[in-house]
A = this chain, B = another copy of it.
Amino acid sequence: MDEIQKELLIQVADLHEVPQGAYNLRVNGQGAGRNTTEHIDIVTKTDKPGIDIIVKPGTKNESIHIPVVLSQSGLTELVYNDFFIGEDSDVTIVAGCGIHNGGSDKSEHDGIHSFFIGKNAKVKYVEKHYGSGDGSGERILNPQTIIHIDEGGYMEMDTVQIKGVDSTIRTTQATLEDKATLVIKEKIMTHGKQYAKTDFEVNLNGEDCGANVISRSVAKEDSHQIFLSKINGNNKCYGHTECDAILMDRGSVSAIPEITANHLEASLIHEAAIGKIAGEEITKLMTLGLTEAEAEAQIVNGFLK
């Protein structure tokens, strides 16, 4: 790997070297390394591009890294990754994508990730998106995540897109069975003329299942963001969705949540707030010696922490 590719890997997966445990590294549309373990298999799909990640029942405290790096301008790819998480397992999955586009052609990575989370299994899923390069070509990432959580299963999904992605449409659909839990934490910062759309749909089908969807975003310069979040309560369940957005410059944000209770024992809550940083917060930090720009940066960093 060259220096650009190594930097992308640091940004999207915090990887400074080859990771511990199972991993699959994809660079410019090609496999660039793979490791499997006694409990975790990674198998190349034969019918379409992508891999199957198979975690055996009872696997505990193992991690799977599947970062994707694109540094060749003009490359467009669509990849299908399926995750089969065995019963009673407890694993962390890190899947990020970094695009460096130094050319004039569009670079695009679209990943369709399907999760089949077994009974009482626990998954922490981290997804980071990052773009760099000063070429005029666009950097586009459209991740699609399809989640099915079986009885008693738990998934936490942390997605971060901090920088450099020109256009992203992020679609997540989840279905929860009895006692299943889904926690989604999304952080997005857009700048320039970037466009980011997030579209969550969570179907709370099981008894005593619950979902908590939290989005924090910052829209700088002329960027535009749309946040859609749909929670359907179809059983005795709990659902909460929250969207907080900070506006800067000429940024604009739409928040369109949708909560539907189809069951008497469904309890659903939504909250959203959009606004600029309060003047007094900036003043307070400036009295401590920060410039206005430093104060703003510190508040934004704290907000997205």
Contact = CB atoms under 8 A, between A and B. Distances in A.
Tell me the interface secondary structure of chain A in the complex: strand
Interface stretch (A112-120, A151-159, A175-183, A255-263): A255-263
Given A255-B258, A258-B255, A274 B267 contact: yes
Interface in A222-278: 233, 245, 247-262, 264-276
Interface residues of A, number: 31
Q: Which of A254, A265, A273, A274 has the most CB of B within 10 A?
A: A274
Interface string A160-179: 00000000000000000000
Nearest to A256: B258
A66 to B, nearest CB: 36
Given A255-B270, A268-B275, A273-B269, A261 B249 contact: no
B270 A270 contact: yes
A270 B257 contact: yes
Interface string A87-101: 000000000000000
A228 to B, nearest CB: 9
A273 to B, nearest CB: 5
Contacts of A276: 264-265, 267
Copy tally for this chain in the complex stands at 2
Contact of A260 (B252, B262, B264): B252
B264 A253 contact: no
A269 B267 contact: no
A271 B274 contact: no
A163 B30 CA distance: 65
Nearest to A272: B270
A254 B264 contact: no
A271 B251 CA distance: 22
A261 B256 contact: no
Contacts of A250: 264
A272 B253 contact: no
A262 B265 CA distance: 37
11 contacts: A251-B264, A252-B260, A252-B261, A253-B260, A254-B258, A257-B270, A257-B272, A259-B274, A267-B275, A268-B275, A271-B272
Given A254-B258, A268-B272, A268-B274, 19 more contacts: A233-B274, A247-B261, A251-B264, A252-B260, A254-B260, A254-B261, A255-B257, A255-B258, A255-B260, A255-B270, A257-B270, A261-B275, A265-B276, A266-B274, A267-B275, A269-B273, A269-B274, A270-B270, A271-B271
